[in-house]
């Protein structure tokens, strides 16, 4: 039996424990939803005020130069690069994940169209995040490609000489399952296909090695594990071998080689800067930089290797404690136990009541979230036996090693035990659905 004392002792020995004070969390809250919206860096509040009152209020338009506003997409991109195994100068922070995915998938289809015109399919995973599938569906319609969706254990088998692009999300948002990026990228290359990776649940959560994997394109999210604030700019990476080959489809003036020449014709900037479109949300960029600076601070205490080690320890502990203390309450585990296949979240399954249990936990200050399983079930009906846990709803808990400790895990599971043991979740107020789950 693991005790709260054991967990407090582990916190005292944790090399990352000093990073907790870089974040502001409300008193009495155990925040297990950093995979959806990361916590606020303490520095962000003052930094945004400074950007508003000084840089905007006093500097006015001069701040594009004097405060470095104009270079923020590249500057922030350089802080993201080491987290994802990319080099400086290869990443920009800009736009949303959805929009960046549109740009890179479009570029990938252009390259495939030139190098391999007979290839007609984009392969992805059926349980990929919906916006990724919607963007891909729209582009496929527009460009005359087929979007071929498969279960995660059928990805390799789906790669063939008609595959133009393999588009995947590295860590699955519903289950926390992590795909083998190096292996699948190698399989795609062997089949002659390009790869697009979505790192929304990976960047800042698990070490990523885009170059080592020989990936082609990647996008990711700024407001999840990077703690950039609601609607923070996302990021985009294109391998240097492709970056200059094509215009990206949203060829706005910020991606122009010399935007302030105001020429009527478009001349793309060299490298990743052409993946910018229009004027950037500077205030959001300043908040995102504070989130990224927490990873700069983490470098001094072990960096992403230490983050990963703690993430696995936290998720192992959560799984063990739930199985020890909440047994007999109908909970299952959707997240792989195998470390190599696990991201930084744990998803529990339950046939009924998952939404209400999450609501009851939130009322007790333990913030996780709920994801429905039913839509996947409907799609999976054409393949009997493929639904597995999909007829169960999901209770999702994200673990952010920068600000979550072992005692937090113990206390969260104790609250979950009490919610289940007292049937507290059956109360009507916990069974009313809100717009955002």
Q: What is the binding site for ligand PLP (CB under 6 A)?
A: 96-98, 129, 131-132, 169, 173, 198, 200-201, 221, 234
14, 33, 95, 198: which one is catalytic?
198
Q: Which of 75, 105, 96 lies closest to 238 in space, CA to CA? A: 105
Whole-Å CA distances, 386 to 116, 179, 244, 335, 421: 33, 18, 42, 16, 32
Longest CA pairwise span in the chain (Å): 71
**Cβ closest to ligand PLP, residue 284 vs residue 286:** 284
- 245 an active-site residue? no
198 is in an annotated binding site: yes
335 is in an annotated binding site: no
Shortest distance (Å) from residue 232 CB to ligand PLP: 9
Shortest distance (Å) from residue 393 CB to ligand PLP: 18
**Cβ closest to ligand PLP, residue 198 vs residue 393:** 198
97 is in an annotated binding site: yes
396, 399, 406, 430: which one is catalytic?
396
223, 225, 370, 406: which one is catalytic?
223
169 is in an annotated binding site: yes
HSE, side-chain direction, 13 A CA sphere, residue 157: 6
Shortest distance (Å) from residue 204 CB to ligand PLP: 13
Length of the chain counted residue by residue: 437
- 244 an active-site residue? no
131 is in an annotated binding site: yes
Q: Which residue has the tokens 């279960």?
A: 151
**Cβ closest to ligand PLP, residue 173 vs residue 217:** 173
279 is in an annotated binding site: yes
Shortest distance (Å) from residue 44 CB to ligand PLP: 18
Pairing of strands 91-94, 332-333: unpaired
- 388 an active-site residue? no
10, 224, 310, 342: which one is catalytic?
224
- 70 an active-site residue? no
In this structure, what token pair is assigned to residue 415?
């609250």
Q: How far apart are CA 287 and CA 265, in angstroms?
A: 34
129, 318, 370, 406: which one is catalytic?
129
**Cβ closest to ligand PLP, residue 129 vs residue 237:** 129
**Cβ closest to ligand PLP, residue 76 vs residue 200:** 200
Q: Which of 370, 367, 376, 368 lies closest to 354 in space, CA to CA? A: 370
Q: How far apart are CA 285 and CA 299, in angstroms?
A: 21
The set of residues, in sequence order, having a beta carbon less than 8 Å from that of 61 and lying 6+ positions away, is none
Q: How far apart are CA 256 and CA 275, in angstroms?
A: 9
Shortest distance (Å) from residue 62 CB to ligand PLP: 31
Q: How far apart are CA 215 and CA 237, in angstroms?
A: 10
Shortest distance (Å) from residue 128 CB to ligand PLP: 7
**Cβ closest to ligand PLP, residue 38 vs residue 353:** 38
**Cβ closest to ligand PLP, residue 78 vs residue 169:** 169
Q: Is 159 left (phi over 0), alpha (psi -120 to 50) or beta?
A: beta
262 is in an annotated binding site: no
Exposure string for 158-197, b = 16+ CB within 10 A, e = fewer: bbeebbbbbbbbbbbbbbbbbbebeebbebbbebbbbbbb
- 162 an active-site residue? no
Shortest distance (Å) from residue 371 CB to ligand PLP: 11
Q: Which of 7, 5, 2 lies closest to 17 in space, CA to CA? A: 7
Strand ranges in 183-335 using DSSP code E only, listed in sequence order: 194-198, 217-220, 234-238, 332-333
Active-site residue list:
129, 198, 223-224, 396
Residues belonging to the binding site are 97-98, 129-132, 169, 198, 201, 223, 253, 279
Residues belonging to the binding site for pyridoxal 5'-phosphate are 97-98, 129-132, 169, 198, 201, 223, 253, 279
């Amino acid at each position: 039996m693991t005790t709260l004392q054991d967990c407090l002792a582990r916190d005292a020995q944790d090399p990352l424990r000093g990073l907790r004070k870089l974040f502001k969390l409300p008193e009495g809250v155990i925040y297990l939803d950093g995979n959806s919206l990361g916590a606020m860096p303490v520095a962000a509040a003052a930094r945004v005020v400074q950007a508003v009152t000084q840089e905007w209020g006093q500097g006015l338009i001069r701040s594009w130069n004097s405060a470095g506003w104009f270079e923020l997409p590249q500057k922030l991109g350089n802080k993201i690069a080491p987290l994802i195994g990319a080099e400086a100068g290869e990443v920009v922070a800009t736009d949303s994940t959805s929009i960046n995915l549109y740009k890179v998938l479009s570029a990938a289809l252009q390259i495939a169209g030139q190098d391999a015109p007979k290839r007609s399919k984009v392969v992805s995973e059926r349980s990929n995040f919906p916006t990724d599938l919607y963007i891909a569906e729209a582009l496929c319609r527009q460009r005359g490609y087929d979007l071929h969706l498969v279960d995660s254990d059928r990805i390799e088998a789906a790669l063939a000489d008609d595959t133009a692009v393999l588009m995947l999300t590295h860590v699955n948002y519903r289950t926390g399952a992590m795909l083998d990026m190096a292996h699948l990228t190698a399989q795609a290359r062997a089949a002659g296909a390009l790869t697009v990776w979505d790192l929304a649940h990976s960047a800042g959560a698990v070490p990523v090695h885009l170059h080592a994997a020989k990936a082609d394109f990647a996008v990711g999210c700024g407001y999840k594990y990077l703690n950039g604030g609601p609607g923070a700019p996302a990021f985009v990476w294109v391998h240097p071998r492709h970056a200059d080959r094509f215009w990206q489809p949203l060829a706005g003036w910020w991606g122009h080689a010399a935007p302030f020449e105001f020429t009527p014709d478009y001349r793309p900037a060299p490298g990743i800067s052409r993946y910018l479109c229009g004027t950037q949300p500077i205030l959001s960029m300043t908040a995102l930089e504070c989130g990224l600076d927490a990873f700069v601070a983490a470098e001094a205490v072990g960096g992403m290797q230490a983050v990963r080690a703690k993430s696995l320890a936290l998720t192992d502990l959560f799984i063990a404690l739930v199985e020890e203390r909440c047994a007999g309450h109908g909970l299952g585990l959707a997240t792989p136990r195998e470390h190599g296949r696990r991201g930084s979240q744990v998803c529990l399954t339950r046939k009924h009541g998952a939404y209400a249990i999450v609501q009851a936990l939130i009322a007790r200050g333990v913030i996780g979230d709920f994801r429905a399983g039913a839509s996947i079930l409907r799609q999976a009906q054409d393949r009997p036996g493929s639904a597995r846990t999909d007829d169960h709803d999901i209770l999702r808990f994200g673990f952010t090693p920068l600000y979550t400790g072992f005692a937090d895990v113990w206390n969260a599971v104790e609250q979950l035990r009490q919610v289940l043991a007292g049937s507290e979740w059956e109360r009507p107020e916990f069974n009313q659905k809100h717009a955002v789950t």
